[in-house]
Amino acid sequence: MIREHTRDGTNARERASESTSPSRERAQTAQDFAVGIGIFILAIAFVFAFLPSVVTPYDTATGGAETAQADRVADLLVEALSTESPNEIDGDDLSDYADMGDKELAGTFGLRTADEGVLVDHVNVTVQELDRTPTGEIDGIGTVYEDQPAASAARIVTIEGGVGDGLEENTPYRLVVRVW
């Protein structure tokens, strides 16, 4: 293969390709900078817009206020019903709560109501076996719970005196309070 050389000894083809390639000699322009920064800002905005939905995939309808309220109602209930033994509640007094209406329970536990007496916060108290099966005896003091999103608090208690024929004394049960 015969190469053509110029007077200075360089290859003519290499020299021609270098002189016709303006991109190697051109500096960054303002338009290049603006496009690059624009793409960068869009990428950052995308990350900040969609990252929270990836991190918290399960958004609940209940907040910290309902959770605190359920815990407070559970504490008030256990305190009002307790006997001399720790974590033991009086079954007869628990039956008295079952006879109360929704508005009376709201007043007893300090739940919010509207001016017309309409309930803003609803409460449900249930006694369950430790494996979370309902006992049937105390199944829904207050508003009926229909598996809607609710904050809950549970206490392990024994029931003195029992409630009806279904609950045994000195057997542990879950006292579950739900607020929504």
DSSP codes, the chain: ----B-TTS-BHHHHHHHHT-GGGTPPPPHHHHHHHHHHHHHHHHHHHHHHHHHH-----S--HHHHHHHHHHHHHHHHHHB-SSTTEEEHHHHHHHHTS-HHHHHHHHT--B-TTS-BSS-EEEEEE-TTS-EEEEEEEEESPP-S-S-EEEEEEEEEES-STTTPPTT-EEEEEEEE-
* 89 or 143, greater pLDDT: 89
Q: What percent of the chain has pLDDT over 70?
A: 74
Q: Which of 11-20, 67-76, 139-148 has the lowest mean pLDDT?
A: 11-20
pLDDT at res. 39 = 98
pLDDT score recorded for residue 117: 64
Every domain of the chain and the residues it spans: 12-55, 64-179
Instruction: For residue range 99-128, list pLDDT tens digits in order.
Output: 788 878 888 888 777 776 667 788 888 888
Q: Residue 134 contacts by C-beta under 8 Å, 6 or more apart in sequence?
A: 126, 127, 128
Contact, 125 vs 176, CB < 8 A? yes
pLDDT of res. 19? 53
User: What sign results for the dihedral spanned by CA atoms 133, 139, 141, 143?
Assistant: positive
Report how far apart, in Å, the C-alpha atoms of 51 and of each of 54, 60, 61, 81, 161 are: 5, 18, 20, 47, 54
**What is the percent of the chain where pLDDT is above 90?**
13
Is residue 28 predicted with pLDDT exceeding 90? no
pLDDT value of position 18: 56
Task: Please give the residue that has the higher pLDDT: either 44 or 134.
Answer: 44
- pTM for this predicted structure: 0.60
